[in-house]
A = this chain, B = another copy of it.
Amino acid sequence: MFSKTCEYAIRASIFIAAQSYQDKRVTIKDIAENIDSPKSFTAKILQILAKKEIVHSIKGIGGGFEIPKENIKRINLAQIVIAIDGDSIFKSCGLSVNHCCDQHPCPLNKKFKSIRNDLAKMLDSTCLEELVLDVNSGESFLI
């Protein structure tokens, strides 16, 4: 469904948000350990998220990553997915038929659109905050 990169991005974002929610800033090492991801690879992903202003990075001693509390409500999964994988998951043809569209549909066009729409709706309506609450209350896990 998502690329591994995107999965790590989502898990990292949730973790950072969960810590920021408790006023804690986290380093790459913290993140990698707590979401069980390769450290350098995670660093690369965080750079992208920082550039897209999904996470905020602070260099130097005491630095790390955080997500301002106001943003935890505002950031949704769709933004993260788009930042990493682009919007192909929302638009691309399920059978990779060239130029598949309503005027020139693949045999699955209609049925796929419905599922893709559900996915898009879900990603769009799921903000970090609700995921953070679940993680912080021990109802769900990142590892």
Q: Identify the A interface with B (CB < 8 A).
A: 1-2, 4, 7, 10-11, 14, 36, 77, 89, 94-98, 100, 104-109, 111, 114-115, 118-119, 122, 126, 131, 134-135, 139-143
Give CA–CA (A85, B134) in the complex, Å.
32
**Which of B2, B14, B107, B118 lies in contact with A14, CB distance below 8 A?**
B107
Count this chain's copies in the assembly.
2
User: Is the CB–CB distance between A135 and B122 below 8 Å?
Assistant: no
Is B4 in contact with A106, judged by CB distance below 8 angstroms?
A: no
- How far, in Å, is A136 (CB) from chain B's closest CB? 11
Closest-by-CB residue of B relative to A141 is B104
Residues of B within 8 A of A36 (CB): 98
Do the beta carbons of B107 and A1 come within 8 Å of each other?
Answer: no
- B residues less than 8 Å from A96 (CB atoms): 4, 7
Q: Are B140 and A105 in contact (CB under 8 A)?
A: yes
Q: Which residue of B lies closest to A130 (CB)?
A: B107
CA–CA, A118 and B114, complex, Å: 9
Listed from nearest, the 10 A-B pairs whose CB atoms lie closest are A107-B131, A107-B140, A7-B96, A7-B95, A105-B140, A111-B122, A107-B134, A115-B119, A11-B95, A115-B118
